Amino acid sequence: MSFPAVLKCFFEQVSLFDITFTDNGKTCVGLCKAPKVLYITTRGMDIPTGSFLDQGSPYLRALGALWNLGEMTVLDVHNTDYLPEEELNRQINSTIDEGLDLAKTW
């Protein structure tokens, strides 16, 4: 319902005071300058982005707020463990097309 532990470890390692964020005496202030973030993921279960069971996207949005990252876009294919192969391939190809369209205006 989230993302691989090694990716969380990476986020923990780069979430450093005076590197990705600092404080102003009252609250944390992000130091990053990425105007946009793209999160591409798959989920084995039928957990669409925005579901209360989706724990990866909210975590990354919270880090984005802490670090001062811009708007996050999520591309996902879910229910991959249970879809028939034809439907899975259709969804994967549809998500690839969505990403390619996004790249044109990114």
Beta bridge partners of 21: 17, 30
pTM of the entire predicted model: 0.86
Spatial distance between the Cα atoms of 104 and 81, rounded to a whole number of angstroms: 31
Mean pLDDT across 36-42: 94
Q: Which of 3, 2, 72 is nearest to 32 (CA)?
A: 72
Tens digit of pLDDT for each residue in 64-74?
Answer: 999 999 999 99
Q: Look up residue 51 and give its amino acid.
A: S
| Complete domains list, the chain, with CATH | 5-105 (3.40.50.360)
Tens digit of pLDDT for each residue in 42-64?
Answer: 999 999 999 999 999 999 999 99
